[in-house]
Chain A
Amino acid sequence: MDILSRRGRERLIKYICLLLTVLAVVPLLWIIGEVVYNGVSAINLEFLTALPAPFGESGGGIGNAILGTLIINAMASLFGIPVGILTGMYLSEYDRTSRLGSAVRTVIESLSGVPSIIFGIFAYSLIVLTVRHYTAIAAAFALGLMMIPLIAKATEESMKIVSNDIREAAIALGVPKWVRTTKIVFSIAKGGILTGCLLAFARISGETAPLLFTSLFSFYWPIGIDQPMASLQVLIYNYAMSGFQNWVIKAWGASLLLVIIVVSINVIVRRFAKPKYKAGV
C-alpha cells in the first residue's frame, strides 16, 4: 500500500531539498547582513585612504591594509595560478596514468587538506628565518602554495571532462599536442579553470594564520615587497580583538571591504572571460 502517490513523493523530496537549501542559505545571508550592517557605517573616504590612527585615537583609516592585501594577493596569484594550471594540465593531458602522475596527484590532494597555518610556518622557516625579518614575499609564497592544489585540481577535472572525441579531431588534423592542449582542450575547459582560480583567490583572501607568520603587519604604507606589510586579514584580527570601539568598528568595515573585493574581482573576471560560445563538452 502506497501511503504517498509517486507524485506526492516527488513533491516531498523537492520540498525537503528546498528546506535544506534555505537552511544553507540563511546563515550565509545572515553573515553577509551582519557584516554590511556593522561595517557600512565605518566606510568613508578617510577610512579607505588614510593610515591607521594610533591606539586610543579616533579617525584614521585602513588604506595601507587594503593596498597590502591587493599586493599580497596579486603576488600569490602570479605564482599560484600559473603553477596550478600547468600542474593540472600535466595531470590531465600528459601523465594521466603513470606512476609519476599518480604521485603528483596524491601530493596535490594531500596539500589541499593541509591546514593553512602549516603553510605559514613553512614560509616562515624557509624565508622569514633566512632573511631575518617579516616580509610580504613570504606571505605571497605561503598563499600561492595554498592556491596551487585548488587550481591544479580544478584544471585537471575541467580538462579531463573534455571529450576524447575532441582530442581525436585535433590529432587527425595533424595539430601538435601542445597546440591541441592549449588552444583546444584548455580553451574548452576555461570556464571551470576560471572558477577554480576565483575560488582559490577567495580562499586566500580570508586566510589570516599564514600572514601572521610572514607579512605580519605595518602601520605605514607598503614600501617594498621584501618588508612587513599590512593586510586586511591581520588588521581585522588585531582590531576585532582590541576591545577598543574605534578599532572594532574598523574591523567590521574592513570585513565588508574584503567581501566587496572578493565579490567584485569575481564579477569583473567573469565579465571579461565570458565564453564566446556555450562550450558543450
Chain B
Amino acid sequence: MSNSTKLDIQNLNAWFCEKHALKNVNVKIPDKEVVAVIGPSGCGKSTFVRCINRMHELIPGAKASGKALLDGVDVYGGMDVMDVRRKIGMVFQKPNPFPNMSVADNVVAGLKLVGTHSKKELAEIAEERLKSVGLWEEIKDELKKSGASLSGGQQQRLCIARALAMNPEVILMDEPTSALDPASTAKLEELVKKLKNEISVVIITHNVSQAARISDMTAFFYLGELVEFDETRNIFEHPKNPLTERYITGRFG
C-alpha cells in the first residue's frame, strides 16, 4: 500500500508540566487508510492524537513541540486552530452527544453553532451523515428526540456523524468502542472500515485484535515513544521489535 501521505508528523514531543509524555514521534499517516494506535495504558496514545488536533495544549501546563503537516501545512503554525479542529475531527472514548440538542441538531451542531447554513441545507446534511454512519434507518422517526436518549452505540455513531458533518479530512478516534457492547462494537468497526473510502482514520484501541481486524497500518507506542509503525500485517506477522511482539501476544500491559 503506497498511498500518499495525509498527515506528516515530525519530531513531535509533548509534556504535562515536567512529564515528557511523548518523545520525538515521527510518523506519516497515509491518506484514506485506517491507522491503529496500540500500546499499554499510559504510553501516550491519547496524548499523541490530542496533539494532532491541538487539544493537548488546552490542559493547563501541557505543551507540545514539533510539526504535524496536514497536506504540507503545519497545524502548529500555518493554520488557525479552529480550522485545524474542523479539518481533523475527533471521537472520544465516552460518547458525548450534546444533551440539549435533538439528534438531528447534534449531527449539524458544529455547522449550526458557527456557520451560515440554511435550515434546509442543515437538514440535508444531517440526513446524509446519519446515513453514512448507518443510523438513519434506526432513528429517522426520532430525529427530534434528545441526542442523549439513544443507546450507547447509537450515541457513538451519532458523535461520528457529528464529526463527519464538518467534512473533515482526518478523523481521530480515542478508544471509541471501549464503552460499547460487542454488537455495537462490531457495527462501529464496520463503519470505520467504510470511512476510509472518504477520509483517513486514526483509531486508538486497547484491543489488539480490533487493530488487526480494521487497520491498514499500526503504530505501537511504549513509554511515550513510537516503537514500531508498519503495515498491520507486518506488525502482527513479523514484528521487528521484541517489545511489539510481547505486546501483541499479550505478554504484558
Contact = CB atoms under 8 A, between A and B. Distances in A.
Interface of A: 97, 163, 165-166, 168-176, 179-180, 183-184, 187-188, 190, 275-281
A166 B58 CA distance: 15
B98 to A, nearest CB: 6
Given A168-B55, A169-B159, A174 B100 contact: no
Contact of A277 (B84, B85, B99, B110): B99
Nearest to A175: B113
A259 to B, nearest CB: 33
B166 A166 contact: no
Contacts of A277: 99-102, 145-146, 148-149
Contacts of B104: none
Nearest to A172: B90
A143 to B, nearest CB: 31
6 contacts: A163-B96, A172-B92, A173-B166, A174-B84, A174-B114, A190-B100
B110 A174 contact: yes
The 5 closest A-B pairs by CB, nearest first: A277-B146, A173-B110, A174-B85, A174-B86, A172-B90
Given A172-B85, A174-B82, A280-B148, A183 B113 contact: yes
A173 B100 contact: no
Interface string B58-94: 1010000000000000000000001111100110101
Contact of A166 (B96, B102, B114, B163): B96
B109 interface: yes
A97 B60 CA distance: 10
A281 B146 CA distance: 12
B162 interface: yes
Nearest to B83: A174
A175 B82 CA distance: 7
B148 A176 contact: no
Nearest to B94: A165
A190 B149 CA distance: 19
Interface in B109-162: 109-110, 113-114, 145-146, 148-149, 159, 162
B85 A171 contact: yes
Nearest to A173: B110
B99 A188 contact: yes
A281 B148 CA distance: 9
Contacts of B200: none
Nearest to A179: B113
Contacts of A173: 85-86, 89, 109-110, 113, 162-163, 166
Given A169-B98, A277-B100, A278-B146, A179 B114 contact: yes
Contacts of B58: 171
B218 interface: no
Contacts of A170: 98, 109, 113
B53 interface: yes
A5 to B, nearest CB: 38
Interface string B144-187: 01101100000000010011001000000000000000000000
Given A165-B94, A174-B83, A175-B110, A188 B162 contact: no
B55 A166 contact: no
Contacts of A169: 92, 96-98, 159, 162
Given A97-B60, A176-B114, A188-B98, 16 more contacts: A166-B96, A166-B99, A169-B159, A170-B98, A171-B55, A172-B53, A173-B89, A173-B110, A174-B85, A174-B86, A175-B109, A180-B113, A188-B99, A276-B100, A277-B99, A279-B99
A161 to B, nearest CB: 12
B82 A172 contact: no
A150 B7 CA distance: 50
A279 B85 contact: no
Contact of A279 (B83, B100, B145): B100
B163 A172 contact: yes
Given A173-B162, A175-B110, A184-B100, A165 B92 contact: yes
B98 A174 contact: no
Contacts of A176: 82, 114
A17 to B, nearest CB: 31
B214 to A, nearest CB: 21
Contacts of B99: 166, 188, 277-281
A172 B100 contact: no
B171 to A, nearest CB: 10
A188 B102 CA distance: 13
Contacts of A276: 100, 102, 146
Given A168-B96, A179-B113, A279-B99, A174 B146 contact: no
Nearest to B91: A172
A174 B162 CA distance: 12
B55 A172 contact: yes
Contacts of A97: 60
A121 B166 CA distance: 56
